[in-house]
């Protein structure tokens, strides 16, 4: 399990998390999000940068991903092997 980013914002109604990336991530990757009250895994179904769908994103990008549970600012995103 490798840390790949941090949650910057969460849109409750549309269940989208904004993640500030520290490493490469692509559609289909399995991730785990962990925080004080958060702990779940999911596969990334789609990634958006500035409302544009992309297949992959790199360190330094700020991306939007649909999440299946509520996340909170400063939760850590890990990539599962």
Which of the four pLDDT bands, split at 50, 70 and 90, describes residue 81? Answer: confident
pLDDT of residue 4: 98
pTM, 2 dp:
0.95
- The predicted-structure confidence for 19-35, as pLDDT tens digits, reads as follows 999 999 999 999 999 99
- The predicted-structure confidence for 43-76, as pLDDT tens digits, reads as follows 999 999 999 999 999 999 999 999 999 999 999 9
2-79 CATH: 2.40.30.10
User: CA–CA separation, 54 vs 63, rounded Å?
Assistant: 9
What is the pairing mode between strands 56-57 and 62-66?
A: unpaired
User: CA–CA separation, 48 vs 46, rounded Å?
Assistant: 7
């Amino acid at each position: 399990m490798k840390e790949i980013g941090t949650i910057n914002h969460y849109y409750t109604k549309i269940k989208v998390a904004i993640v500030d990336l520290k490493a490469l991530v692509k559609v289909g990757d399995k991730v785990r999000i962990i925080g004080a009250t958060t702990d779940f895994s999911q596969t990334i179904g789609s990634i958006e940068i500035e409302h544009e769908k992309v297949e992959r994103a790199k360190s330094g990008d700020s991306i939007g991903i649909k999440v299946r549970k509520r996340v909170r600012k400063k939760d850590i995103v890990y990539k599962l092997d």
